[in-house]
Structure 1
Amino acid sequence: MRYCIFLILTFMCLHLQGQNIKGTVTDDKGIPVPDVAVSDGINIVKTNANGQYAMQSDKHRGTIFVISPSGYTVPLKKEGLQADFWRHFKLPADKTEEINFTLIPQDQSCYNVMFTTDIHLNNFPPQDDLRRFHEFVMPVVKEIATENAKEGIPMYTFHLGDMSTDAHWYEQDFNLDSAYYKLIAEGFPGPLYNITGNHDNDPNIIGKNVDFRAEWHYRKLFGPTYYSMNIGSDHWIMMDDIIYVNTPFRKKRRPAGTDKPRVRGKRDFVIGFTQDEMNWLKKDLEAMPDGMTVRFCTHASLLFEYPEGKGTQLKSNAQLDSLITLLSRYDGKVHAYTGHTHRLQFARNDIFPQIEDLMLPAVSGNVWGTGHQQMIGIDASNAGVIIGHFAGKTATYDYKTFLYGKKPMRLYDMNSVMNYYRTDSVTLARLDTIKVRTDYRRGYDNMVYANIWEWRPDDIVKMYENGRELEVKKVNQGDPLIFVGIVLNVNTLIKPQYLTCHHLFAAQAHTAQSPVTIKVFDRNGKLRFEEQMQRPKPFSLDME
C-alpha cells in the first residue's frame, strides 16, 4: 500500500515537473482548493487534491487565468477595481514559471450583477463626456453599490466592451488606459469583469494577424479576451466576438520620421469567434460542473434586434448553430447578454428561438451624442444600467436610468410632436436636407405613442382613453425624439434605419384633450407598470 502511494506521489511530481507553468490555488487562509480549473486560453487543467496545477503552454495568448468555482470569489487587483483572476506571463515559453491564485469563500446563494457597456470615454470636448460621466453616471452607480452593500448580497460589475473610443485614442490622446484609470479615479464599483469591444482595438495596427495584434492594449490592462467563472448556480462565459479587420486607408505613406501613431485603417470588423475561442469554449463547457445555468456575454449581439430580420449578426450562421448546440443542451436556452447596439431590448428571433438576447443599454447613450443634458440611446431609451438579480435558477432585472431613476417608458402626444416638427426652425431646416425614415409633420392627429424600453416579447400593452380601451399597434419606426435629439443635435451621419425603435406602440385616441393611460402586463396578466399621460402634453428636446 505504501509503495502504491509512493508511486502515485512520484507520478504527480514528475507530471508537475514536466510542464512550463505550475502553481497552487489556495483560499485566503492558505488552504489548498482542489478541482479548480485554470486556463491559458487554449488549455484547461484542474488542480489536484493539494491545490496544485501544471500545464504545458506556448504562452501565445500572454495570460493565464483561474476559473473561479462556485462559492468563491477573487480579490481585487491592487488598483482596487478589477477582479484579480488573471496574470501575465513573465517568461518565454522555454522557461518554467510559477503562478499562484487566491480564492475567497463567499455565500453566492443569491447575488447581483450591475451590467454596464459602451461607456465610450474619449475626452472629446463637443461631447463633454468626462463631465457628464462624473455628474450623471457616477452618482447612480455608486448609489446602486451602496444599496447593494446594505443588503449584504455580493455584487459584481460586468462591462461588455467599448470602454474607450478608438477614433479618439490619438486625436485626443485618450486611449483605453485613460478610460480605465478614469473609472478608478471616479470610484467605479467592482469587482469588475470586462470584455473587449470593437472600439477597444488599436486603430494604428494594420496588416497580418491584426485581430490579435490590435488587442495588445486590452490584454495589457485586462488580460484574457475570453474567459469564464462560476458564481452561485451560474457559469458565466465572457467571449470576444469582434474579429478586427481595420482595412488600411489607401493613402501614401507619410515622409520618414513623421509616421506617428494614428488611425491607419477603417476600424472595420466582423462579428464572430476565432477557432481558438470555439475550441476553448468546448473545453470550458466540458470542465463545467453539472447542474449549472450557462450565461453567455459578448460585446456585439448574437441576434438582430428586430424579429423579422436576418436572424444573427454573426458572419457565419453555422457558427451560431454550433453555439446553440453547445450552450442550449443545459436547459434548452441560450441566455445571452450583449452590448454594442446602444439600445435596450429583450430580443428574440423566430429563426433562432433558443436564444434570449438581453441587449444592454449603453452608459453613453449614443456615444454622448445628445447634447449636454439629455442622454438617450439610438432607440430613444433613457441611458442607464440594468441590475440583474440571480438566485438559483431564477433571474430578474431592474433598470435604473441616470437622469430619471426607474423609468420604463416615455409617452408622446403626437399632436404636440407634429406641431414641433412643423414649427421648430432647426428641425425644418434639417428635414429639407436629410432624408428621415419617419416624417412626423403630418398624419398623426390625436395619436398616442409609447416607447416602452422595458417591454419584453411576451408582454401585453394596453391603452385606455377615459376608461375606454383603444386598439394598440406595435410600430417599427424611429422614435419621435430620436431625430431631434440625436440627428439634429450632433449633425450625425447615422443612417435613419439604424434609429428604428422596436418597442414603440401606437393608439388612435378619439379627442385631443382627454388623458390616456398606458398599462403593461406580463404574459400571465400581472400588471408590470402603468402611467397616465395628461393631454395636451408638450414635446421638447429635454423631455423625460
Structure 2
Amino acid sequence: MKQLTKYIVLLLAGLVSGSAGCSDAKPAAVGKPGKMVTDVYIAPSMPVYAGEKLRVLGAGFAEGDELLLRGSGTEFSAPVEAVTESYACFTVPGGITSDGYSLVLRRGADEQLLAYTKLRPAPDWTLVPDREGATVKGVVYCGLKPLAGVRVSDGVVTVTTDENGYYWLPSEKYHGYVFITLPSGYEPYTEDTTVPAFWASLAGPQAVCEQHNFELVEADNERHTMLVATDLHLANRPSATGDLTQFGDGFLTETKAFIAAQQRQQPVYTLMLGDMTWDEFWYSNLYGLSNYKTTMAGYPSLLFHVMGNHDNDPYRVGDFAGETMYKSVFGPTYYSMNIGRVHYIVLDNTVYINDNGAEGTIGSRNYKRYVTEMQLEWLRDDLAAVGDKSMPVMVGFHCQSMNNYNATFANKPTFNPSSGTGDLIACFDGFSRVIFLSGHTHYNAHIPYSPTLEEHNVAAVCETWWWAGKLSGVNVCKDGAPAGYAVYEADGTDLKWYYKGVGHDRDKQFLSYDMNSVKAFYKPEVVELLSQWPSRAKDGQGDDYFDVEPNTVFINVWNYDPEWTISVTENGRPLEVTRVWHRDPLHTICFDYPRLKAGLAVVADWESLRHSHMFSVRASEPGTTLRIEVTDRFGRTSSEVMRRPKDFTTDMK
C-alpha cells in the first residue's frame, strides 16, 4: 500500500488553560516563567510516521517558533507551520521511533514544555483520497489489516468503512468530533484508559477536509464484565466531606483490585453513568472534568462515560454551550459500541438550560430530562444497523426514564415532557432484550416495563453526596442501599448482574431491621429534629414509623426485582412477606439525624425517602429468631439468622 498521510489533531489529556477548575493541568515552563502558548491539547499516545503533518491546538504560536521532541537520549526539531490563533502544525521528522517525547516550544532563547506524549511508527499506507462532499475522512484498521463495515459518525451523519477500511463523512462538524461504533472483538488502541480512542476532535474549518484514523486491537470479549457506576460528585472538599479520600479509599481501591483479579479470566470495562463531578464547585474548588480525569489516571479498565447534569459548565447558558468542556475532555455525548455479543448505547438525556449563567457567574443549573430529536434520529439509525434483534441492548443515560417509588409501585414516566419516555422506548420495538441503565437518583430501583424492556436505576458511588460517610462512617444512599455499583456479566448473549456495595461481600444483598429497636430510637427529641426535613413535616411529623405494628421486621432488599423471592420463617413457621412503601432506618441514623444534630443545612433532595424494595413481616413476639432467605432471579441466595431483639446501630450488619 502507498504512504498514508494522516491529519491528526492532538487530543486533550486534560484541558490546559488558565480557567479555574482546570489549573492542575497547566503546562510547566522550561527556561522562562509564564506561558508563551496556552490552551494546549495533546493526546497521550498516537501512531505517526516521518513526513506526517500534525496539528497542535493552542493559543499563542508565532511564525518562527520551533518545536522540539525530546525522547530517551534523542531530540528532533521541527519548525511550526500554518500558524493560526488556535493551532499550529509541524511535520514529523525522520527517524522517529517508539518512545515517549516531551513536546517543547522554543522561541529564540526561551523554551516552554507544552506536553508529553508517546509516539510510535504507523503502518506505511496509501493516502485516503479526497471525495467530493466529504469534510472528514480516514481509515479504521487493526495492525496491517483494514476493517470494513465499521460505522463512523459525527453524531448527525453516519457512514461505514469500505473494503479498504476507508470512510468519507459529509460532516458539518456541528459537535466538533468524529467517532466510531466499536466492532465486536476489538478495542481502541489506547494508553489512556480514561479516554478510549474511539473518537477524535475536529479542529479544521467546516469546508476543509481533515483526516482522522482509528487504530483498533483485537480483544476476545465474547465473555466480559461491565462495571456500571454513577454519581461520584467529586468536588475536592477535604474539610467538608473528604470526598476524594473517601472515593480513593473505597470505590477506587476496591474496583481496581476487582478488575486486576477478573481480567485474568475475561476483559472488564467500566461505564460511568454521569455526575462524575459537581458543577457547583468547578471554579471555586478548582476541580472540574479534567481534574477528575487526572484522579482516574491509570484506571485498569477502559472507562466509558455518560454526561450527567452536573457535568455541564455552570457558566454557560444552554445545552450546546454547557457541553463544550465535556466534549473537549471526553468527546461524544452519545455513541455506541459492540462488546462481544452485547450492543451498548450511551445517550445524553439532560437538556441543560442554566438560566442566568454568565462568565464568572454560576447560573441556576436547571435542565430538562429527555432525549433530543437529533439523538433519536441517530439512535434509530444505529439500531437499524443491528442485524440480530435478539442481541442484548444496554442503554446508558444519566436521569431515570421511569420511576416506581410510589405506594402502588407502578411504573411512571419521569422525562419532561413525559412523552419523551415513550418516544425513547418506541425506538426499541422489535428487540427482544433491552436494559436501560440510569443513575441520578442516588437509590436502587428495578423497573420492569415490558417482557422485553426494563430499567435498572443504579444507586450512587457517593451515597448521600459523601455526607453519610463523613457524619457516621457508613456510606449509605437515600434508600438504605450501601454506596456501590452494578456488575454485569456477559457470556455471549446471556446476561447476569448484581449490585455490589463498596466494602460489602458480593453475597450481601439486604439488611434487616427489628422495628421494635428502631421505634425505640424515635424518642420525642428525635422526632422533633427529624420533622425539619420537608417531606417528613407532612408525613408523620417526623415519626417515620408511627403506623408500624409491634414485633414487625423490615427487610431492605437493595436490588430487588419481581423475579426475586423472599422467605422468612420463625421457628420453622413461614411468615407472610409484604412489600411496603417506607423509609430505610439506617439512612436516618447515618445521615438525616446526625446532619441536623450537627446544625447543618436541610437539603431536601438528600432526605431519606420511601422506596420500592422494602419488605415487612410480623413476628409473634419480641425475642424470637427469624431465618431470612433472599434469592435473586439467577438463583443466588443471601441469608441471615436474625436473633432478636436486634440492635439498631450505625454499624449493624
Scaled by the length of structure 1, what TM-score is found?
A: 0.88
Q: 1:102 aligns to what SS in structure 2? A: strand
Provide the residue aligned with 1:270 in structure 2. 368
Deviation per residue, 1:294-336 (Å, 9 max, x gap): 22111111111336456111123443333223213121x4311
Query: Is 1:322–2:437 an aligned residue pair?
Result: no
For 1:99 and 1:287, the matched residues in 2 are separated by 23
Provide the residue aligned with 1:391 in structure 2. 491
Q: 1:16 aligns to what SS in structure 2? A: coil
Percent identity between the aligned chains?
Answer: 30
- 8 A Cα contact 2:349 2:371, kept in partner: yes
Deviation per residue, 1:168-204 (Å, 9 max, x gap): 11232222222221121xx433201101000101111
Return the offset for 1:495.
Answer: 5.4
What amino acid does structure 1 have at the position aligned with 2:621?
Answer: T
The correspondence for 1:146, drawn from 260, 264, 273, is: 260
For 2:176 and 2:625, the matched residues in 1 are separated by 62
For 1:170 and 1:494, the matched residues in 2 are separated by 24
For 1:392 and 1:385, the matched residues in 2 are separated by 22
Provide the residue aligned with 1:189 in structure 2. 300
For 1:137 and 1:14, the matched residues in 2 are separated by 48
Return the offset for 1:343.
Answer: 1.1
The correspondence for 1:57, drawn from 171, 194, 208, is: 171
Q: 1:370 aligns to what SS in structure 2? A: helix
Q: 2:592 aligns to what SS in structure 1? A: helix
Query: Is 1:81–2:179 an aligned residue pair?
Result: no
The correspondence for 1:218, drawn from 326, 331, 346, is: 326
Return the offset for 1:26.
Answer: 0.6
The correspondence for 1:512, drawn from 622, 628, 645, is: 622
Query: Is 1:304–2:403 an aligned residue pair?
Result: yes
The correspondence for 2:612, drawn from 479, 499, 502, is: 502
Q: How does 1:376-525 map to 2 (within 5 A)?
A: 376-406=476-506, 407-422=508-523, 427-434=526-533, 436=536, 437=539, 439-440=543-544, 442=546, 443-490=548-595, 491=600, 492-494=602-604, 499-522=609-632
What amino acid does structure 2 have at the position aligned with 1:74?
Answer: P
Q: Against the structure 1 CA distance between its residues 222 and 495, is the aligned structure 2 distance closer, same or farther, given a 3 Å change threshold?
A: closer
Return the offset for 1:121.
Answer: 0.5
- 8 A Cα contact 1:16 1:53, kept in partner: no
What amino acid does structure 2 have at the position aligned with 1:416?
Answer: S
Provide the residue aligned with 1:255 in structure 2. none
Provide the residue aligned with 1:530 in structure 2. 639
For 2:276 and 2:636, the matched residues in 1 are separated by 36
Q: Against the structure 1 CA distance between its residues 68 and 311, is the aligned structure 2 distance closer, same or farther, given a 3 Å change threshold?
A: same
Q: 1:111 aligns to what SS in structure 2? A: strand
Return the offset for 1:17.
Answer: 4.7
For 2:341 and 2:436, the matched residues in 1 are separated by 16
Q: 2:586 aligns to what SS in structure 1? A: helix
Q: 1:430 aligns to what SS in structure 2? A: helix
- 8 A Cα contact 1:347 1:358, kept in partner: yes
More helix by share: 1
Q: 1:133 aligns to what SS in structure 2? A: helix
Query: Is 1:111–2:224 an aligned residue pair?
Result: yes
Q: 2:401 aligns to what SS in structure 1? A: coil
- 8 A Cα contact 1:166 1:199, kept in partner: yes
For 1:382 and 1:172, the matched residues in 2 are separated by 27
The correspondence for 1:313, drawn from 408, 411, 414, is: 414
The correspondence for 1:25, drawn from 126, 129, 140, is: 140
Deviation per residue, 1:192-239 (Å, 9 max, x gap): 110100010111112xxx111001111011001000011111111100
For 1:496 and 1:154, the matched residues in 2 are separated by 36
Return the offset for 1:156.
Answer: 0.7
Return the offset for 1:483.
Answer: 2.4
Q: 2:436 aligns to what SS in structure 1? A: strand
Q: 2:475 aligns to what SS in structure 1? A: coil
Q: 1:142 aligns to what SS in structure 2? A: helix
Q: 1:327 aligns to what SS in structure 2? A: coil
Provide the residue aligned with 2:316 in structure 1. 205
The gaps in structure 1 that reach 5 residues or longer are: 1-11, 250-258
- 8 A Cα contact 2:128 2:138, kept in partner: no
Scaled by the length of structure 2, what TM-score is found?
A: 0.74
Total equivalences in the alignment:
509
Q: Against the structure 1 CA distance between its residues 381 and 20, is the aligned structure 2 distance closer, same or farther, given a 3 Å change threshold?
A: same
More strand by share: 2
- 8 A Cα contact 2:512 2:554, kept in partner: yes
For 2:616 and 2:307, the matched residues in 1 are separated by 38
Q: Against the structure 1 CA distance between its residues 319 and 428, is the aligned structure 2 distance closer, same or farther, given a 3 Å change threshold?
A: closer
Q: How does 1:109-258 map to 2 (within 5 A)?
A: 109-124=222-237, 125-151=239-265, 153-184=266-297, 187-206=298-317, 210-248=318-356
- 8 A Cα contact 1:230 1:236, kept in partner: yes
Q: How does 1:344-355 map to 2 (within 5 A)?
A: 344-349=444-449, 354-355=452-453
For 2:250 and 2:607, the matched residues in 1 are separated by 29
Provide the residue aligned with 1:253 in structure 2. none
Q: 1:91 aligns to what SS in structure 2? A: coil
Return the offset for 1:432.
Answer: 5.0
Query: Is 1:336–2:436 an aligned residue pair?
Result: yes
Return the offset for 1:269.
Answer: 1.1
Deviation per residue, 1:24-59 (Å, 9 max, x gap): 1110x1211111110000010001000000011110
- 8 A Cα contact 1:83 1:190, kept in partner: no
The gaps in structure 2 that reach 5 residues or longer are: 1-126
What amino acid does structure 1 have at the position aligned with 2:209?
Answer: T
For 1:498 and 1:280, the matched residues in 2 are separated by 38
